[in-house]
Structure 1
Amino acid sequence: MTRPKTLVLVDGSSYLYRAFHAMPDLRAVPGDPASAPTGAIRGMINMLQALKKEVPADYAACVFDASGPTFRDALYPEYKQHRAPMPDDLRAQIEPIHEVVRLLGWPVLCIPGVEADDVIGTLAATAAGQGMQVVISSGDKDLSQLVNEHITIIDTMNGKKRDVAGVTAEFGVPPTLMVDYQALVGDAVDNVPGVPKVGPKTAAKWLTEYGSLDALLANAGAIKGVAGENLRGALDWLPTARTLVTIKTDCDLAGHLDGLPAIDAIAVGAEQADVLRDFYQKYGFKSLARALPSAVVPDAGASGDLFATPDASAVAVQAQQREVTYDTILTWEQLDGWLARLKAAPLAALDTETTSLDELRAEIVGVSFSVEPGAAAYIPLAHNGPDAPPQLPLAEVLERLRPWLEDPACPKLGQHVKYDRHVFANHGIQVRGYAHDTMLQSYVLEVHKPHGLTSLAERHTGRTGISYEDLCGKGAKQIPFAQVPVDKAAAYSCEDSDQTLDVHRVLWPQLQADDKLRGIYELEMACSETLFRIERNGVLIDAGKLAAQSHALGQRILQLEQEAYAIAGQPFNLGSPKQLGEIFFDKLGMPVVKKTATGARSTDEEVLEKLAEDYPLPAKLLEHRSLCKLKGTYTDKLSTLADPRTGRVHTHYAQAVAVTGRLSSNEPNLQNIPIRTPEGRRVREAFVAPAGRVIASADYSQIELRIMAHISGDEALLHAFREGLDVHRATAAEVFGVALDQVSSEQRRYAKVINFGLIYGMSSFGLAKNLGIETKAAAAYIDRYFQRYPGVKQYMEETKAQAKARGYVETVFGRRLYLPEINSPNGPRRGAAERAAINAPMQGTAADLIKKAMVAVQGELDARKPEVLMIMQVHDELVFELPEGEVDWLRREIPRLMAGVAALQVPLLAEVGVGPDWDKAH
């Protein structure tokens, strides 16, 4: 039985608005606000390419609204009268969008006098009548009335699918009643009134009870209350409303389809690669242009140096057009042959397939290599599926590989090499010679983009490959990789190594061409190895202390619940927004601070904090929430994350996540322990040293303020740090016009908030809220600050201007921090980008400094003190576990090393604390 043909219809008008609002303010010339806007164009391309992969089609069309009136305007002149005019930047992209849609192979329909929904309805009904399956891609709920057994709606932006069951579940009525439903509730977007005060629930209830709008109108006299009165008042209007919301399925399209029958005219076409390339170049989409196939394939290896790649587009073309040779190694003879190739290779890509994503518990299932484009091999070592062939023994294979793996003179390449280091270490092998990591190359070159191999390969070489889900399935039905058939596993793993090699050939030359970015990349590579050591070391956890803390927190949580009940005068669910709203606003008469998007009275964190200034119950709830989170996230969970053999917790440091260069940690998240509360600080007491050893913490002092002084060059700030003054006291003296020794503790507190607030672009409103003062007074403090520190003001203005011109800012060491919204026409987005432009160089430079410190310190420990372990990195702090006899050495040498990693205009200062646990080391 042949499958039915598929028609895909794209609601182009819905797509282009969503693309415009979802994408940043891209320009044909990056950083030049006067050049053509391109965000909606790029978004449209992305959405159509994703849809084409998701839903293969025999026929397709992208349907747009044409300008000018339709029959609905004649029927009801107020139709769509309240719609805002199309933004100028979107209007400028309409014609290019139509052009690129055609070039991508999608027929474009834009028919005067007929709305896009009616064209979609007509084509869908026609195709369904011919037995085709129709997929409509749109976020517009109005199209739900078209759904039937042949017609389905998908929304690729959020994964929502509206088939008959989906429509019924979402709206409470089946698709056959959606026109009646829409007539009752109206359409605010199109300015079509419904029945006043009748919402979705009432409409669905009526239609379920009476079966149709006609039957409901015939029984309108039986409907009681205000709703019934409103229904009877709308009797004359509802037939018009129904006509307005009904999508036509019988439009005459013959004059707009080149004389062909409706469906034949919209067969899927091929991409016009050569013309597309010119289009992409014109609008600045260089990566899209590179990914297109070309008729001419340059010989990238002609120079004799495979990795001196002449042009990224050549790599992309080769990757897409070449034949591949992937071997499966099942004999010792094959292994010996590949070992010889590995030893002779100038660079070999290496990848592991494992039993787990947890790198400290993962065991090897197979290993793949690639030594030249299109040539790769896979060694299956632990496949146990029903058809698995005999495999070489894992332990013996690893011993054969060990000399090459542990030889630092044999250069190796990987994608997220820290993970593979751990996997091999789990088998007793210390891999040396990792020269490159494509994930980190991408992180340095394009921090604002995804860094997974699938994304990198598609973006830089145009290659799409086998996904993990293709092999193993999803969810509860997912099988372990060890059960994947060996031939499929080999194709998948070899492809990963081969693609890693291709991506490296594109990205590495770009790093070589920029000394500053290359320096950042080399720092990231060295940091990756240091993080591997830190993760491997882990930190000892005192499970008994955590259990006692959990018990105490549980008792306090119960006490808070009882206190809350007493204030409210009744028991209630502390986590129920509905019940909180009733008690706060109805029973206790608290003021409504804000409402949710649905009009409900909000009781979110911000509201609680505001109300807690005047009322005891919100304060109790805030404390209750914070203690519940602390208990659930840390005191209950930390012990479960410890290795049962050692009692040590091994956090995972994600290196390629934060756009500022900061590390993030998870399982457990060490950076979010709430140290501002006594209960939060107490959690750090459970991070302990074994007998005979101690914990030491080395923390950069006021690092971001020192960086601000350096990059702004402000003389007053430089003087304060060079003279070793208390910078907050010095700022207070300047802002309040008093002598240093006359600064009060309150004035110093104000100055501290100002110092750190301005680093993060805090406004006078934000400062006023933080200090609990009038906005006018806060503005006066900021003005006085800038008068006393003019270099800071100049830095801020120059940085914003530079960011607008280039689209990014840089750290002191050259790390790029991209700001795609810096020229956005949207004021709030642009403002946020401007604040980020000011802060990002300081956060990013602080990240660079702590990474430099980690690398320098680890090098010194390896050379002189291997018994001193670096066990954590949190914010601007390095944490160590060491023998008690090495404390004096650490107090002397670690601050020296940390201060010496860079020469700024102000001295770097690291302070050391020591104790039996992490808390007491502060």
Structure 2
Amino acid sequence: MKRLILIDGSSYLYRAFHALPPLTNADGEPTGALFGIVNMLRATIKEAPDFAAFVVDAPGRTFRDDLYDQYKANRPPMPDDLRAQVEPMCAIVEALGFPILRVAGVEADDVIGTLALQGSEAGIDVTISTGDKDFAQLVRPRVTLVNTMSGSRMDSDAAVLDKFGVRPDQIVDMLALMGDSIDNIPGVPKCGPKTAAKWLAEYESLDGVIANAANIKGKIGDNLREALPQLPLSRELATIKTDVALDCMPETLVLRPRDADALRGLYARYGFTQALKELDGGVLESAPAAAGSAPAQAPAALDPALAGPGEYETVMTQATLDDWIAKLQAADEFAFDTETDALDAMRSNLVGISLSVESGRAAYIPLAHDYPGAPAQLDRALVLDALRPLLADPAKRKLGQHGKYDIHVLRRHGVEVQGYADDTLLESFVLDAGIARHDMDALAKRHLGIDTITFEQVAGKGAKQISFAQVAIDDATKYAAEDADITLRLHRVLKPRVEADAGLSRVYGEIEMPLVPVLARIEANGVRVDVEELRRQSADLSRRMLAAQQKATELAGRTFNLDSPKQLGALLFDELKLPAAVKTPKGQPSTNEEALEAIADQHELPRVILEYRGLTKLRSTYTDKLPEMINADTGRVHTSYHQAGAATGRLSSSDPNLQNIPIRTDDGRRIRRAFVAPEGRRLVACDYSQIELRIMAHLSEDPGLVRAFESGTDVHRATAAEVFGRTLDEVTQNERRAAKAINFGLMYGMSAFGLARNLGIGRGEAQDYIALYFSRYPGVRDFMERTRQQARERGYVETVFGRRLTLDFIQKGNASQRAGAERAAINAPMQGTAADIIKRAMVSIDGWIAGHADRAKMILQVHDELVFEADTGFVDTLLEEVVQRMIGAAELRVPLVVDSGVGVNWDEAH
């Protein structure tokens, strides 16, 4: 999930000025407020937000001054010592790379409010960094308030209610009733926060209070009645605008590279020695905090031991190693983590190991740090021999964060990890699959309130980044030992939450955790590719790309760069005057695939561009790339599978991404021909047939759909026969195609418009098709409506096995977001259940195939398909066992069917 941080610069400048002592530099210039702002900004940069902005008030009048000429009339002028810090503050903000926003006619609050809503509606997590209580009115899903100076955080209705006694949507009404002496907003005399909260609890809103003013007794009631005429104005003055016309959008607020020279001069002038030291690459500034200081704000009710300081030890002697071996032997479970010299687990070398047996205590064992002056370290083989009995003991519980990587690394160094019992990444994923980040740094911040040391802080970034083997051992210890410690702490927080829900506990314990070693074995097995075949395909793709370029030039009547969206946009929309069917977030005509598909029936050029892009992608992603990805040690390509990649639970893969190889085109199938079996072996592919549609039949219990699958007839032909009133033999290919589009389209929330476009028919005719479908399969219609309603009531949907997908916008958000959430509510249980089924099958198959490792192995998983490599004489046995286990992975109301094939390459087997 992308993150946007909006900094209320005006608020922080005043707060820092009054909160900090009157500091000065050597020349007597005031620096107190500046010091607070600089530290806050540097902390923000370390959070590595995707987007950020520093928002300040523009000079001059605002619309509120026009509404009420006494607005802020009582405010004293800015103190001279504070005024002197405004210009250097802006200079430092600019040099740090933050966009600075000032908009005439409105206040900084209104700019922040507008960007916050734009960001949240675009699916961006927005943090407003402020100390101003007025912003509590903006708190909602994806909008959080953080007071960097106090460490307080408000990210939900409950948090606002706890702080102010009212909900976020009541904050404006509360402010109107209380008034504001600083901004000179009139309110009800003697009405404080408790009285305002009491009234709003009883009468719900300001309008409700006004309507019931006659019922409120005593002097405060008299005050209320006297104030009634001005309360609507007070409410308008207190309301943060969220519709300001801006020249920027959240996605454009990207941090620029910092101006190191300008910062150096500013830091030196104002005496910010620690910031200067960090800028010039001194000792890691945040190491002491990351290694031990308490967080600014730990989550409520958290055991202090889980959020407090850490004590980390470097293991440099045999005696210290022996002490830690004894600790591991005595512990019921321990966390471990590896440090390596590369990101690729199949190629990296082990540099060190970190261990933790109790919260707040951890050790790092350096093994291969080789920078100039590095001290002597324990022998790697000796350390691994000492740890091997513990790591290989299935009865000794091990836990990690994305431990599959560490399992690979240790296996390559001769240690087979067993008893891998818990993974904090998967605990987080099972609890909340909808959040984008399950990495340790994000989880530590979210659940422990701890800012961890990042890899970039110890190793640098970009071209200057060094290998971990070159990191100083003291810095490496703070970073690596913290990893093991934080992993253990997170586990102590997350695991009880998983176990508290029977469904989630089952998904975690029976599906996700058992799958970790299975995926590790599949990745380690790898697959052979035919380099010569790929070279032939690359040459053919290049020839066809050139032909497409020539055709595009001919159609355009001039040369242009087919890879330039700007040149293509000018040609299509300015010169050829084609309609801009799709716009970019900035409102410009888009040239993405959807945009070109939308106008491909109006001119031949968009279709040629799409063809060119498809060929380019195949060549760059597969035919040119795969030979470069062959592991020199194994002679195979090893993909990486990601369990936490898709919210529905589907596996994704990378390096290479095998899920995106087109299977409906000849070119995609040709690429599969390059995945081959060794001499004397065959590839075996087993694929669930129409599994999501079968799950739809199971969940909807529609008699007609269930009957179609039970009879074993072609379900699309059966659907066509029902919808169009034909016998099975009378159904035409076009009618079957329409039925197939309806069957699959409805699962993905396809509208009549989408079906019409898919089939090339009128929207009215498509709507008639859908109506006929629901008349023949009323159980499907009832299931879909029932699921939407349950999702609206609960805020989430579940798979057959209990996996949960939270739908943030099903109850809130705009109409488009709610519609998207409703589509997800229908599809997620089917797609998620399909993911659960194939994962269960993989675990079962892995258990059986382990006894035949010399004759067969599982090498790929793609969508609903598993691919194996087996001795030619073992293929029949493999097929019988695999198909049986895939069918037995779930008991549905309709039978599961598995299609299978055998060949010398993947295409032949598919």
TM norm. shorter chain > 0.5: yes
1:423 aligns with 2:413: no
1:750 aligns with 2:749: no
1:914 aligns with 2:902: yes
Call closer, same or farther: CA 1:598–1:887 in 2, change over 3 Å.
closer
Query: 1:699: which partner in 2?
Result: 687
Query: 2:241: which partner in 1?
Result: none
CA distance in 2, matches of 1:884, 1:776: 55
1:355 aligns with 2:341: yes
Call closer, same or farther: CA 1:815–1:682 in 2, change over 3 Å.
same
CA distance in 1, matches of 2:328, 2:526: 33
Q: What amino acid is aligned across from residue 803 of structure 1 in structure 2? A: A
Q: What amino acid is aligned across from residue 515 of structure 1 in structure 2? A: A
Q: How many Å apart are 1:547 and its aligned residue?
A: 0.3
Q: What amino acid is aligned across from residue 751 of structure 2 in structure 1? A: S
Q: How many Å apart are 1:732 and its aligned residue?
A: 0.4
Q: What amino acid is aligned across from residue 763 of structure 2 in structure 1? A: T
Query: 1:10: which partner in 2?
Result: 9
1:528 aligns with 2:516: yes
- Where do residues 426-437 of structure 1 align in structure 2 (5 Å cutoff)? 426-437=412-423
Q: State the TM-score, normalizing by the size of structure 1.
A: 0.71
Call closer, same or farther: CA 1:715–1:355 in 2, change over 3 Å.
same
Query: 2:316: which partner in 1?
Result: 330
Query: 1:409: which partner in 2?
Result: 395
Query: 2:328: which partner in 1?
Result: 342
CA distance in 1, matches of 2:164, 2:798: 22
SS in 2 for 1:796: helix
The Cα offsets for residues 87-124 of structure 1, whole Å up to 9 and x where unpaired, read as xxxxxxxxxxxxxxxxxxxxxxx996259xx999x85x
1:689 aligns with 2:688: no
SS in 1 for 2:685: strand
- Where do residues 159-170 of structure 1 align in structure 2 (5 Å cutoff)? 160-162=98-100
Call closer, same or farther: CA 1:468–1:727 in 2, change over 3 Å.
same
SS in 1 for 2:809: coil
Residues 38 and 92, structure 2, Cα contact 8 Å, conserved in 1: no
The Cα offsets for residues 176-218 of structure 1, whole Å up to 9 and x where unpaired, read as xx99xx99xxxxx99xxxxxxxxxxxxxxxxxxxxxxxxxxxx
Residues 686 and 867, structure 2, Cα contact 8 Å, conserved in 1: yes
Q: How many Å apart are 1:860 and its aligned residue?
A: 0.9
Call closer, same or farther: CA 1:342–1:133 in 2, change over 3 Å.
farther
Query: 1:438: which partner in 2?
Result: 424
Query: 1:517: which partner in 2?
Result: 504
Q: How many Å apart are 1:649 and its aligned residue?
A: 0.5
1:615 aligns with 2:573: no
Q: What amino acid is aligned across from residue 492 of structure 2 in structure 1? A: R
| Equivalent residue for 2:637, pick from 631, 634, 649 | 649
1:540 aligns with 2:542: no
1:459 aligns with 2:446: yes
- Where do residues 782-801 of structure 1 align in structure 2 (5 Å cutoff)? 782-801=770-789
Q: How many Å apart are 1:891 and its aligned residue?
A: 2.4
Call closer, same or farther: CA 1:652–1:592 in 2, change over 3 Å.
closer
Query: 2:613: which partner in 1?
Result: 625
SS in 2 for 1:881: strand
CA distance in 1, matches of 2:398, 2:621: 38
Query: 2:255: which partner in 1?
Result: none
1:486 aligns with 2:473: yes
SS in 2 for 1:905: coil
Q: What amino acid is aligned across from residue 382 of structure 2 in structure 1? A: E
- Stretch of structure 1 that moved more, 274-283 or 648-657: 274-283
CA distance in 1, matches of 2:856, 2:707: 36
Q: How many Å apart are 1:49 and its aligned residue?
A: 12
CA distance in 1, matches of 2:729, 2:80: 86
Query: 1:248: which partner in 2?
Result: none
Query: 1:551: which partner in 2?
Result: 539
1:571 aligns with 2:583: no
CA distance in 1, matches of 2:506, 2:804: 12
SS in 1 for 2:800: coil
SS in 1 for 2:332: coil
CA distance in 1, matches of 2:40, 2:363: 31
Residues 63 and 119, structure 1, Cα contact 8 Å, conserved in 2: no
1:721 aligns with 2:709: yes
Q: What amino acid is aligned across from residue 359 of structure 1 in structure 2? A: A
Residues 127 and 133, structure 1, Cα contact 8 Å, conserved in 2: no
Q: What amino acid is aligned across from residue 826 of structure 2 in structure 1? A: I
The Cα offsets for residues 221-249 of structure 1, whole Å up to 9 and x where unpaired, read as xxxxxxxxxxxxxxxxxxxxxxxxxxxxx
Residues 354 and 366, structure 1, Cα contact 8 Å, conserved in 2: yes
Call closer, same or farther: CA 1:852–1:275 in 2, change over 3 Å.
closer
Residues 392 and 417, structure 2, Cα contact 8 Å, conserved in 1: yes
Residues 9 and 134, structure 1, Cα contact 8 Å, conserved in 2: no
CA distance in 2, matches of 1:151, 1:582: 37
The Cα offsets for residues 573-621 of structure 1, whole Å up to 9 and x where unpaired, read as 2233454355445655645545656665544423322332243222222
Call closer, same or farther: CA 1:274–1:890 in 2, change over 3 Å.
closer
CA distance in 1, matches of 2:793, 2:451: 35
Residues 128 and 150, structure 1, Cα contact 8 Å, conserved in 2: no
Q: State the TM-score, normalizing by the size of structure 2.
A: 0.72
Identity of aligned residues (%): 49
Q: What amino acid is aligned across from residue 772 of structure 1 in structure 2? A: G
Query: 1:382: which partner in 2?
Result: 368
Q: How many Å apart are 1:892 and its aligned residue?
A: 1.8
Query: 1:100: which partner in 2?
Result: none
CA distance in 2, matches of 1:790, 1:845: 22
The Cα offsets for residues 635-656 of structure 1, whole Å up to 9 and x where unpaired, read as 1111101113433100000111
Q: What amino acid is aligned across from residue 765 of structure 1 in structure 2? A: F
Q: How many Å apart are 1:283 and its aligned residue?
A: 8.1
Query: 2:824: which partner in 1?
Result: 836
Q: What amino acid is aligned across from residue 342 of structure 2 in structure 1? A: S
CA distance in 2, matches of 1:586, 1:492: 54
Q: How many Å apart are 1:314 and its aligned residue?
A: 5.4
The runs of 5 or more residues in structure 1 that have no matched partner are 1-7, 14-46, 57-61, 80-109, 136-146, 168-177, 184-188, 191-266, 286-310
Query: 1:130: which partner in 2?
Result: 84
CA distance in 1, matches of 2:686, 2:42: 53
- Where do residues 236-255 of structure 1 align in structure 2 (5 Å cutoff)? none
Q: What amino acid is aligned across from residue 470 of structure 1 in structure 2? A: Q
CA distance in 1, matches of 2:161, 2:886: 46
Call closer, same or farther: CA 1:793–1:886 in 2, change over 3 Å.
same
| Equivalent residue for 1:678, pick from 653, 663, 666 | 666
Q: What amino acid is aligned across from residue 453 of structure 1 in structure 2? A: M
Q: What amino acid is aligned across from residue 655 of structure 1 in structure 2? A: Q
Q: What amino acid is aligned across from residue 852 of structure 1 in structure 2? A: R
Q: How many residues align?
A: 701
Query: 2:796: which partner in 1?
Result: 808
CA distance in 2, matches of 1:268, 1:695: 57
Q: How many Å apart are 1:500 and its aligned residue?
A: 1.1
Residues 153 and 161, structure 1, Cα contact 8 Å, conserved in 2: no
Q: What amino acid is aligned across from residue 862 of structure 1 in structure 2? A: A
| Equivalent residue for 1:53, pick from 36, 43, 49 | 43
The Cα offsets for residues 499-545 of structure 1, whole Å up to 9 and x where unpaired, read as 11111111111222222211111210111110000000000010000
Q: How many Å apart are 1:486 and its aligned residue?
A: 1.3
Query: 2:494: which partner in 1?
Result: 507
Q: How many Å apart are 1:385 and its aligned residue?
A: 2.5
CA distance in 2, matches of 1:552, 1:571: 23
Residues 723 and 769, structure 2, Cα contact 8 Å, conserved in 1: yes
The Cα offsets for residues 255-311 of structure 1, whole Å up to 9 and x where unpaired, read as xxxxxxxxxxxx9964579999984674899xxxxxxxxxxxxxxxxxxxxxxxxx9
Residues 316 and 462, structure 1, Cα contact 8 Å, conserved in 2: no
1:113 aligns with 2:100: no
The runs of 5 or more residues in structure 2 that have no matched partner are 1-6, 13-36, 47-53, 112-146, 166-297
Q: How many Å apart are 1:395 and its aligned residue?
A: 1.4
CA distance in 1, matches of 2:377, 2:793: 58
Q: How many Å apart are 1:680 and its aligned residue?
A: 1.7
Call closer, same or farther: CA 1:648–1:565 in 2, change over 3 Å.
same
| Equivalent residue for 1:666, pick from 649, 654, 657 | 654
